[in-house]
């Protein structure tokens, strides 16, 4: 009887316990608290979506998603890089530099951080800072031909033509078919009055890709000794890219004063009158 009484009490206690738990669960709702690992995965997913939106020119949406990703996980340098890209696209250059500084604090050994910084500094006309940032990035990634080319472009802006030529040459050694670097060597040599070498370099660039820039550059080189060829090349260049008819646009492409002067004389040729007018109308 005593055993039976004990069993009865124990059974009653168990029933009461489960009954009380049921009551508590009925009153207090159940909440799911995600783990840090799950939050990190979610932030990366949001960051990737933000990055993809940049390619669809949805800059504002990309920026909002990138900000959200960083709020969820502020310890991932990749997310700060994505946020910086979105900020650059939205012309928030100061904020972009702040984001890149955050990324650098987390991991200073990522070359892309310094390349992105250089891009921002160039946009706000801080060439010295841009050059320093590129040099830091290249130390981490010494075979990045695009970064070396960009550093050469900064020297070209500074009219350090020999320094620019050396960097372009270094870039070409890494990627022999990098016609942009070959073309810019042509720009640099023309400003040093080495027209014959400029001709060879523009021809070499054209053999890789028949782009408007080396076509017009070559036309400007040969205009005195071979007017007929110069006109043919200029017509082809303006048809491919009408923007090259514009002096300011060529300046943005780092054309020097000597080449600009030669090109202006060429474009005043009567045989190019209609081509020049058509190119200008297309720009408008």
pLDDT in tens, 4-27: 444 443 444 434 433 444 444 445
Residue 144 pLDDT: 98
Percent of the chain with pLDDT over 90: 81
41 contacts: CB under 8 Å, gap ≥ 6: none
> Is 223 buried (19+), middle (13-18) or exposed (0-12) by CB count in 10 A?
buried
- How many C-alpha atoms does 24 have within 13 Å on its Cβ side? 6
C-alpha to C-alpha distance for 108 and 45, rounded to whole angstroms: 23
What tens digit of pLDDT does each residue of 94-120 get?
Answer: 999 999 999 999 999 999 999 999 999
Instruction: Give the residue from 103, 8, 88, 98 showing the smallest Cα distance to 51.
Output: 88
Phi/psi for 58 (5° steps) reads -95, 70
The model carries a pTM of 0.83
What tens digit of pLDDT does each residue of 145-200 get?
Answer: 999 999 999 999 999 999 999 999 999 999 999 999 999 999 999 999 999 999 99
Structural domains of the chain ordered from first start: 177-284 (1.25.40.10)
Task: Reduce the DSSP state of residue 264 to 3 states and report it.
Answer: helix
Mean pLDDT computed over 237-262 = 98
């Amino acid at each position: 009887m005593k055993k039976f009484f004990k069993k009865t009490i124990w059974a009653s206690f168990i029933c009461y316990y489960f009954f009380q738990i049921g009551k508590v669960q009925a009153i207090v709702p159940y909440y799911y608290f995600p783990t840090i690992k799950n939050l990190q995965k979610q932030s990366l997913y949001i960051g990737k979506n933000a990055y993809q939106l940049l390619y669809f020119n949805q800059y504002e949406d990309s920026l909002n998603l990138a900000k959200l990703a960083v709020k969820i996980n502020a310890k991932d340098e990749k997310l700060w890089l994505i946020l910086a890209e979105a900020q650059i696209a939205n012309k928030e250059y100061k904020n972009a530099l702040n984001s890149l500084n955050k990324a650098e604090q987390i991991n200073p050994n990522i070359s892309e951080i310094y390349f992105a910084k250089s891009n921002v500094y160039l946009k706000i006309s801080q060439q010295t800072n841009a050059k320093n940032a590129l040099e830091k990035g290249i130390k981490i990634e010494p075979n990045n031909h695009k970064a070396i080319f960009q550093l050469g472009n900064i020297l070209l802006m500074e009219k350090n033509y020999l320094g620019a030529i050396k960097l372009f040459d270094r870039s070409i050694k890494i990627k022999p078919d990098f016609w942009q670097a070959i073309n810019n060597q042509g720009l640099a040599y023309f400003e040093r009055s080495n027209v014959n070498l400029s001709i060879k370099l523009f021809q070499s660039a054209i053999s890789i890709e028949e782009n408007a820039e080396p076509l017009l550059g070559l036309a400007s080189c040969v205009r005195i000794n071979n007017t007929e060829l110069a006109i043919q090349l200029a017509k082809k260049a303006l048809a491919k890219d009408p923007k090259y008819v514009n002096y300011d646009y060529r300046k943005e492409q780092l054309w020097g004063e000597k080449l600009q002067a030669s090109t202006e004389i060429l474009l005043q040729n009567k045989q190019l009158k209609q081509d020049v007018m058509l190119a200008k109308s297309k720009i408008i």
